[in-house]
Structure formats: C-alpha cells, structure tokens
C-alpha cells in the first residue's frame, strides 16, 4: 500500500513555501509521492487567479527535481473546485492506497464550512501544516473533529514561513521583484506577463517616481491584509489604496474644473486632487473610494471603514520607519478601529510638535473619534 499526499490550492503564483511544505509533508508522512492540484476557481476566495496554463507551467517549473505530480484534474473540470470531488476522484484512482490531503491551520479551522466535509474525510486523512503567522488551537480542533466527524487529523512538525501571494502579485504588477518566489518562476511571470498592471497601476507607474511606487504597493498590501476581516470589497480596497497618492506630485493648475476647498494645507492638497484625478481622469465613480482617497491624509469625522483603512495603511505600511510605527503596526494586528484612533492621535501630536497648521477636518476627526470616543 502506497502513501500519497494531495496538495491543492490556487498557487497564484506558486512560491517557495509551497515547495518547502510539499517536501516536508512527503518526508514526515513517508509518502511515495505528492500530487499538486491547482484549482480552477477556489470557492472561498474572491480573486480570479492567473490563467490555468500559466499556473500549471509555473508549478512545473517550481517543482522541477521534486518527486511531485502536477495534476490538471480541477482545472480541466472547470467551475468552482470543491475538495470533496477531488478527494473522491483520487480515492477512486488509488483505492488500495492511503491518501492524505494537505491543509493549513487556517483551512483546518474553516473545514467545517467546506462542502461535504464528511465525504472528504471518508476518502482521505487530513494532514495539517502550521504557519508562523497563524495561531490555531489544535487541541480544540482535534476535539471537534473527533466529536463531529469521528476522525482525527495529523499535525505535521513543519511550520511554514509567511509568504503572501497577494503581496507577490501586487509587487509584480507595480514592476517590483518580490521575495518568496524562485527566480525561474519570476522569469516566467515576466516573460509571459502573467500579472500585468491594470489601468490604475499603470497610471501610478507612469506618473510617480520609484520611491512613491514602492510606497503605493506597500499601502495596497497593508490594506488588503484586512479587507476580508473587515468584510470590505476587495476591489474597492485595492483601487482606493492604489490611487491614494495618484496626484502626489501634480499641480492643481493642470486640471481645469478642480476647486480646492478653503483652508486645505499644502501637505493635504494631493489627497483632494487625487480624488479629482481618480474620478475625472481614471473614471472612478464609487463615492466611497473617492472619499477614502480625499481624506487619506487629513481624516475627517464620520469616516467609512474603507476610508479609515486607507488612512491607517498609509501611515503604517512596511516602508514607514518613524518612532512609534511598530506600536501602531502591533495595534493594527489587534484591530482597525483602535489602530485608527492611535494613528489619528499620532498625526495630531506630530503636527503640534512640528508647530504646523492643522487642517480643520483633522481637528474634526480628532474631536469626533478621540474626544467623543466614537468608532
């Protein structure tokens, strides 16, 4: 009887931790081989993956020299890719062998919400790999599994490092070379334009210097990290973060019809002009996105969750290095609302310390959220 591991995922794109995880699973489970199964469309994700042919090709490159089989079973099936169908397919293909399905700790916690989880467990055993940035109470999950499914899972000793596919895709689209993917995979992505910039990213690339492009990419990554948790629309977050500084170095005189409100200080002008450019030049019509761009620097009273998120991401993205930013980043991990209030306090304190003019909308935000302690 052979031991076979099934490793599914979007692989959008495949990165170094995917390969390390696969190798570790084979070694720990003493498996004869591992089957890598890229999804066609993942049921639980809201980002359309790269073309199937490109993801298959990238997997073949990444797993070259590894005892792995790249399967197009889910891709050739089309539609949403459900794990129970995949598990039963490979069980039928290998009826006398022991099958393991490799999942992460975050997926284990959500397993109860998957379609037909009992059918998955009838066909395969779950092998779980931890990730350094995700805490899971495995004892509680084990008790739940035994009580509800009458089965246990195998917890591997290997702990994967944090590599974000979202971060990789974002940096590539902004013309940056990301960490976490093999050079051969990166070369394939570049040669085949797997993740080309959209019109918003293209505008940033064409109109901002490299340093500001890097900042913009980092704000997008920071903001998207919280989008799902906050139940925000992924595309709205991405567009607002991408365009928040789109007019950073523009001159108001270049735009007929733009009127700057009275009292806006120079450091805030680009935010108001940016909202104008986003609407009139780039065709953004969503009022919430435009508002988030307009007030990402100053803040205001009664901000939307999206606006708060862009305000915060702009202040704490990974390129920022002022005193106290690590405190703000730690608070961000705990929650947006508390971090937003700390960021607002930090901004007002900074302006007061520098004896700079404080815009009325910033004072309104401070009064509304800090003095009145509203969320």
Which tokens belong to 240?
């607002």
Question: The whole model's pTM is what?
Answer: 0.92
* Helix (H) or strand (E) run with residue 154 in it: strand 154-160
CA dist 360 and 247 (Å) reads: 21
Helix (H) or strand (E) holding 40: none
H or E, element range at 204 = helix 199-207
Residue 304 exposure: Cα atoms within 13 Å on the Cβ side: 20
Q: 144-176 pLDDT, tens per residue?
A: 999 999 999 999 999 988 899 999 999 999 999
Q: 3-class SS at 60? A: helix
The class of domain 3-163 in CATH terms is alpha beta
Report pLDDT digits (tens) over 27-46: 999 999 999 999 998 776 65
162 is written with which tokens?
Answer: 């944090």
Cis peptide before 102 (omega within 30 of 0): no
Does 133 score more than 80 pLDDT?
A: no
Q: What are phi and psi of 323, to 5 degrees?
A: -60, 130
List residues bridging with 34 in a β-sheet.
5, 68
In this predicted structure, the answer to whether residue 78 has a pLDDT above a threshold of 90 is no
| Ramachandran angles phi, psi of 326, nearest 5° | -65, -35
* Measured distance CA(160)–CA(132) in Å, rounded: 6
Tokens 């994700």 belong to 45
Residue 6 binned pLDDT confidence (cut-offs 50, 70, 90): very high
What ranges do the domains of the chain cover?
Answer: 3-163, 197-371
Of the candidate ranges 61-75, 131-145, 235-249, 320-334, the one whose mean pLDDT is the lowest: 131-145
- Give the pLDDT of residue 131: 86
**Nearest in space to 134 (alpha carbons), one of 114, 151, 116, 159:** 159
The average confidence (pLDDT) of the chain is: 94
Instruction: Give the C-alpha separation, 306 to 21, whole Å.
Output: 35
Please give the Cα distance from 246 to 244 (Å, whole number).
6
Estimate the crossing angle of helix 210-227 against helix 305-316, to 10 degrees.
Answer: 130
- For residues 2 and 31, give the distance between their C-alpha atoms in angstroms, rounded to a whole number: 7
As a whole number of angstroms, the distance between CA 67 and CA 7 comes to 13
What whole-number distance in Å separates Cα of residue 154 and Cα of residue 102? 10
Main-chain phi, psi angles of 6, to 5 degrees = -110, 125
CA distance 269 to 249: 10
Question: Cα(first)–Cα(last) distance of the chain, in Å?
Answer: 59
Question: Which residues lie closer than 8 Å to 338 by C-beta, 6 or more apart?
Answer: 331
Domain spanning 197-371, CATH class = mainly alpha
- Measured CA to CA, the distance from residue 162 to residue 170 in angstroms comes to 16
In a 13 Å sphere around the CA of 150, the CA atoms on its Cβ side amount to 3
In angstroms, the CA 361 to CA 1 distance is 70
Q: What is the pLDDT of residue 160?
A: 87
Tens-place pLDDT, residues 184-236: 999 999 999 999 999 999 999 999 999 999 999 999 999 999 999 999 999 99
């Amino acid at each position: 009887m052979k031991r076979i591991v099934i490793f599914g995922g979007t692989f959008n794109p495949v990165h170094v931790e995917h390969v390390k995880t696969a190798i570790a699973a084979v070694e720990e489970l003493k498996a004869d081989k591992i089957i890598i199964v890229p999804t066609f469309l993942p049921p639980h994700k809201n980002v359309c993956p790269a073309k199937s042919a490109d993801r298959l090709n990238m997997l073949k490159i990444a797993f070259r020299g590894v005892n792995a089989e790249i399967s197009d079973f889910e891709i050739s099936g089309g539609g949403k890719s459900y794990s129970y169908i995949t598990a039963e397919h490979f069980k039928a293909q290998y009826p006398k062998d022991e099958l393991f399905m490799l999942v992460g700790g975050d997926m284990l916690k959500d397993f109860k919400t998957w379609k037909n989880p009992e059918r998955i467990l009838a066909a395969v055993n779950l092998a779980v790999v931890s990730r350094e940035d995700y805490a899971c109470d495995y004892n509680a999950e084990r008790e739940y599994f035994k009580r509800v499914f009458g089965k246990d899972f195998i917890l591997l000793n290997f702990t994967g490092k944090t590599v974000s596919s979202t971060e990789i895709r974002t940096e590539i689209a902004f013309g940056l070379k990301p960490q976490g993917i093999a050079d051969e995979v990166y070369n394939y992505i570049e040669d085949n334009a797997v993740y080309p910039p959209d019109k918003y990213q293209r505008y940033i690339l064409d109109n901002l210097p490299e340093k500001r492009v890097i900042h913009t990419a980092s704000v997008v990554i920071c903001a998207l990290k919280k989008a799902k948790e906050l139940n925000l629309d992924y595309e709205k977050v991405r567009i607002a973060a991408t365009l928040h500084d789109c007019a950073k170095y523009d001159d108001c005189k270049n735009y007929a019809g733009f009127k700057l409100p009275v009292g806006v200080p120079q450091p805030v002008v680009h935010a108001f002009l940016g909202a104008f450019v986003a609407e009139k030049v780039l065709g953004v019509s969503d009022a919430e996105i435009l508002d988030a761009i307009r007030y990402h620097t100053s803040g205001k009273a009664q901000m939307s969750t999206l606006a708060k998120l862009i305000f915060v991401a702009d202040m704490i993205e990974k390129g920022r290095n002022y005193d106290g930013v690590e405190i703000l980043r730690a608070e961000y991990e705990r929650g947006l609302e508390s971090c937003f209030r700390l960021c607002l306090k930090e901004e007002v304190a900074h302006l007061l310390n520098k004896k700079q003019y404080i815009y009325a909308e910033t004072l309104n935000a401070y009064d509304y959220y800090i003095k009145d302690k509203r969320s």
